[in-house]
Amino acid sequence: MKVICDGLDLSDAVLKVSKALSVKAANPVLEGIKITAEGNTLTLLATDTELTIEKKIKADVLMEGETVVVGKYFVDFVKKLEKEQVELSRLYDAQLQIKYSDSESELQVFPAESFPKIDKGMEDGAYFEISQVDFKSIVEKATISCSVDDSRPILKGCLFEIEGGNLTCVALDGFRMSVVNKEVTASGDFKAVIPARALNEIVRLLDKEEQNLKIYIKGNSLFVSVENTTLISRLIEGEFVKYRHILPSSFANTVTVNKNALLSSIERAAIVARNDRYNVVKFEVKEDLMTVSAKSEIGNVNENVNVNLDGKDITIAFNGKYVSEYLRVCGEEFVTLNLNSPIDPCIIKSVSGQGFLYLVLPVRINA
């Protein structure tokens, strides 16, 4: 194998595929990046068997071939060659020779035949199509509620449920839940639980918001191609939580408040509350005023925010982090807090609805 390519193109491709590199794998080859030179293209591929990313770049291929280079070192090395023209050559003594300017270096390689075979034939599977900007928005709103706890793997992903051309995306971690709805073009009705990690990596690939994104689901895998980059992810198996049973059907109290005013108060209160295990921020609503407060051994904060209350006075407390994360991604000026009691779930959504509903459980406090 012998190939010449632009250093900036190579660096960009290596950084993209490196997100799928395995760390301390039982099989050392999974810590490598597979390099294939064919035609006028250099293809780089990495996988940890859960996530696979492949990137193609233009290159001057002098001799076709393939090899697997140790990923961690190749990433760090190539980042330093962005302004160079780079020549890669597979040597016979298990080395990859890298030439640039008047210099050359060598890195260890593995035989290409030891690298896992990747099935890319998924374009006959079920699919949905959505604009890149809408997909980014859905992922941003949903993944804030994904669990990071390995004890319940199903909650580390988002449920994508397609029914009658409507996409419902759901994520929850036992303390809060995001439900996002959007009209899409789809091949039919289906559902899949997609890992949050894969969703965030797809978002990183998107740079043309006006264009559409087509996501394929086949068997237990997801497939998406953006420009010259392909991402394949294993789906999360298992039965997702029956989320509709969690949503309250009615509310005794509705509090309407300016999003930015509430967010600013919570962020200041959170400075005091962050030493508390649960980041407790208390909301005391009386008529048209909400008092946002927090206290700890560091000090205390009490701030008043104007609201519109439909219902009775109520005092309730939340983990301030959970409420502020919703407010940052909400995207509208006014939100409503829909409440029943200090111990029942609260539903937060924008005044216009906008297809985004957020449920958060309160923290019990002493009266």
pLDDT digits 0-9 by tens, 322-353: 999 999 999 889 999 999 999 999 999 999 87
Token code pair at residue 300: 């205390």
**Confidence grade of residue 124 (pLDDT, cut at 50, 70, 90):** confident
DSSP string spanning 267-291?
A: HHHHHHHTTSTT-EEEEEEETTEEE
Question: Domains (ranges, CATH) in the chain?
Answer: 2-114 (3.10.150.10), 126-245 (3.10.150.10), 253-360 (3.10.150.10)
Average pLDDT estimate for 105-118:
92
Lowest mean pLDDT, pick from 85-89, 93-97, 220-224, 258-262: 93-97
Confidence at residue 367, expressed as pLDDT on a 0 to 100 scale: 56
Average pLDDT over residues 233-255: 96
**pLDDT score at 297:** 85
**pLDDT at residue 249 tops 80:** yes
Catalogue the E-assigned strands of 188-321: 190-195, 212-218, 221-226, 229-234, 253-258, 280-286, 289-296, 299-310, 314-319
| CA–CA dist 367, 361 (Å, integer) | 17
Residues forming a β-bridge with 148: none
* Cα gap 112→93, rounded to integer Å: 14
Regarding beta strands 299-310 and 314-319, do their DSSP bridges make them parallel or antiparallel, or are they unpaired? unpaired
**By C-alpha distance, which of 261, 269, 264 is closest to 318?**
269
Considering 23-32, 110-119, 166-175, the range whose residues carry the highest mean pLDDT is 166-175
Helices (H) and strands (E) in the chain, counts: 6, 26
Q: Which has more confidence, 298 or 105?
A: 105
Nearest to residue 253, comparing CAs of 351, 346, 340, 358?
340
- Give tens-digit pLDDT for 165-215: 999 999 999 999 999 999 999 999 999 999 999 999 999 999 887 899 999
**Does residue 81 carry a pLDDT above 60?**
yes
At 202 the pLDDT is 97
Are the beta carbons of 273 and 281 closer than 8 angstroms? yes
Distance CA 105, CA 237 (A): 44
**Mean per-residue pLDDT of the chain:** 94
Amino acid identity at 72: K
Strand partners, 3: 61, 88
Residue with the bigger pLDDT between 277 and 140: it is: 140
What are the E-state strand segments in 122-250?
A: 126-131, 157-163, 166-172, 176-183, 185-186, 190-195, 212-218, 221-226, 229-234
Contact assessment for residue 220 and residue 117, using Cβ atoms and an 8 Å cutoff? no
User: Strands 51-58, 229-234: parallel, antiparallel or unpaired by DSSP?
Assistant: antiparallel
Higher pLDDT, 253 or 27: 253
Q: Residue 80 pLDDT more than 60? A: yes
> How far apart (Å, rounded) are the C-alpha atoms in residues 41 and 56?
6
